[in-house]
Amino acid sequence: MNGNTALYRHLTALVAVLAVIAILPVFITQRYFLGEIILFMIWASVATQWNVLLGHAGVFSLGQMLFFAIGAYAVGMMGTYFDVSPWLAMPIGAIVAASAALVIGLACLRLETAYVALLTFAIVFMVSTLIRTDAECFITKGGLCTPLFGGGNGFSGFDDLGFRKLLKGQWVVGNYFVVLGVLALSLLASICVIHGRLGLAFRALGDSRIYAAARGMNRTRFHIIAFVITAFFTGLTGAVYAAHFRFAGPSLFEFPTLVFILAMIVIGGLKSTWGPIFGAALMMVLVEFAKEMGDVQNTLIGFVLVVFVLIFPKGLAGATSQLAQRISRQRSRKASDTARAI
């Protein structure tokens, strides 16, 4: 069983990676750095899910931030209107995101790649415009008018995960481990999908769509399944984002955010398993660097993205494996040379 050994290998790697991240707070105690790692874990989770969809399932969705935002808004709205704890709101947000994905998927995923990309993009734009331009007050608290979906300001200041009371000054560490838990779930799901039976189906459909169809595989059905699963975990990540930052607003839909995450996937390596995590780490460092250079963040992201697409289309994962191949080829050539010499 070749597939199973790959699965076990990746699961072992997952445990190792999670263990490393779990140990980090022992050495890093500054709140700023812990916050940065939390943000890294959130984007890594989103990028991983998107990579499953884009790289493996072949669904060119540009609507991932919608599902992220649905998760975040679920936590924000339930916290603001009903004082629901994020612990309960998080899974609900993920389920709502998955249901939205099912509806959008049924309507759009039958179409060709480019159509899917444009439609999902347009849907996100529509939702964000509707939310921004909503001026009708749903509740008015202290002279402050809040539309049903928060309008241009969104929601903030709702209940957090409760660690501020429990751990006092160390509350960030509590949030850290909750986010780590979500990242673990998201990675586990991605590995199970990529190296499980679903991944096999995706590979078959990617290799030859017509042959796969002739063997009775329904491409649209597999695409919708991938769409819904990834939307669930993207929504969950969005929910934990809202619970950590105590914020959910239309700025989540902004185009630069989308390109930022896309850059993580491309730089890490589309179609790889672990690439997006390294891509996310690298992009976080790059953005830190750009902040010091004076707010050239988006210019730099765009530039790096174009360079990678042009020169390293397989990302870091592809570049390293290419390098490894070249080294091993050189080594084998040397070995054969010495063999001949002997």
Using CB under 8 A, which residues numbered 33 to 92 contact another protein? Answer: 54, 60
Out of 138, 177, 245, 255, the residue judged to bind another protein by CB under 8 A: 255
Tokens 């928060």 -> residue: 150
Q: Are 53 and 226 in contact (CB under 8 A)?
A: yes
* 212 CA to centre of own chain: 28
User: Residue 138 interacts with another protein (CB under 8 A)?
Assistant: no
Tokens at 130, concatenated: 């509707």
CA atoms within 13 A on the CB side of 258: 18
134 three-state secondary structure:
coil
Select the span of 91-99, 103-111, 181-189, 237-245 touching another protein (CB under 8 A): 103-111
Count the residues of the shown chain that bind another protein, applying the rule CB under 8 A: 51
We find the least distance from the C-beta atom of residue 133 to another protein, in angstroms, to be: 5
Select the span of 82-90, 106-114, 274-282, 328-336 touching another protein (CB under 8 A): 106-114
Residue 75 or 205 having the CB closest to another protein: 205
Residue 108 or 178 having the CB closest to another protein: 108
User: Residue 212 interacts with another protein (CB under 8 A)?
Assistant: yes
Q: Are 240 and 39 in contact (CB under 8 A)?
A: no
We find the least distance from the C-beta atom of residue 124 to another protein, in angstroms, to be: 9
Residue 148 sits at φ, ψ, to 5 deg, of -55, -45
HEC per residue, 28-91: CCCHHHHHHHHHHHHHHHHHHHHHHHHHHHCCCCCCHHHHHHHHHHHHHHHHHHHCCCHHHHHH
Residue 85 or 153 having the CB closest to another protein: 153
Question: Which residues form the interface with another protein (CB under 8 A)?
Answer: 54, 60, 107-108, 110-115, 117-119, 121-123, 125-126, 129-130, 133-134, 205, 209-210, 212-213, 217-220, 255-256, 258-259, 262-263, 266, 296-299, 301-306, 309-310, 313
